[in-house]
Amino acid sequence: MPLTITILTSVAELIIQTGQPEHGLELLHIAHAYPAGNHETHRQAAKIIARYQNQSPGRGNSSARRTANLEEVVKEVLAELTALPVDPRKEPANPRDDGAVEKSLAGLVTVTGKQALVDPLTNREIEILRCMNDGLSNQSIAGQLFISLGTVKWYTSQIYAKLQVSSRTQAVAKAREMGIL
């Protein structure tokens, strides 16, 4: 989640710079208020909001701030970014490649099935998720993978955060739904 908030903050600043200040500020307010963001990202979002509002008093105080779910906000922003017109002054790398923007965004979001992961699971996390799917306990996973119990617990918490779940059952179900397992 912190990575998602950091990316959203950067995209919001870009949107402000491209002439859509109200929309950019709306995204910045979401990023600033979202509890999963880290302190530095919240500080950066507040700094950009203050800078813009100082440059243009009275603008960007929209009361229409969305309280949408972060996953929906990310999907909307990705859709907007993929719909951006190409700068006619620049020659596209491959004018026949209709998926150029989507491919350039692949580093930010890994889309698997119907869901998107902003911070994709590592190979080790997938390996641990498979062990969880097989019904192994943390202790058994540690023994099978030759790692400490604390390391298994750390990986488990990373998996839960990336999948936005709070239990093994939910993690396994969501991984299956996404086609990871």
44-96 pLDDT, tens digit per residue, is: 888 888 888 766 555 444 433 444 566 777 777 777 776 655 554 444 444 33
Cβ proximity of 51 and 9 under 8 Å: no
Q: Which phi-psi region, left, alpha or beta, contains residue 14 (left: φ > 0; alpha: ψ -120 to 50)?
A: alpha
Q: At what angle do helices 39-55 and 21-33 cross, to 10 degrees?
A: 150
The span from the CA of 50 to the CA of 170, in Å, is 40
Closest CA to 178 of 167, 166, 165: 165
How far, in whole angstroms, is CA 66 from its chain's centroid?
Answer: 17
Among residues of the chain, what percentage have pLDDT more than 90? 24
Highest mean pLDDT among 22-26, 105-109, 130-134: 130-134
pTM, full prediction: 0.43
Residue spans in the chain of domains classed CATH 1.10.10.10? 121-178
- 90, with CB counted inside 10 A (0-12, 13-18, 19+), is exposed
CATH 1.10.10.10 fits domain 121-178? yes
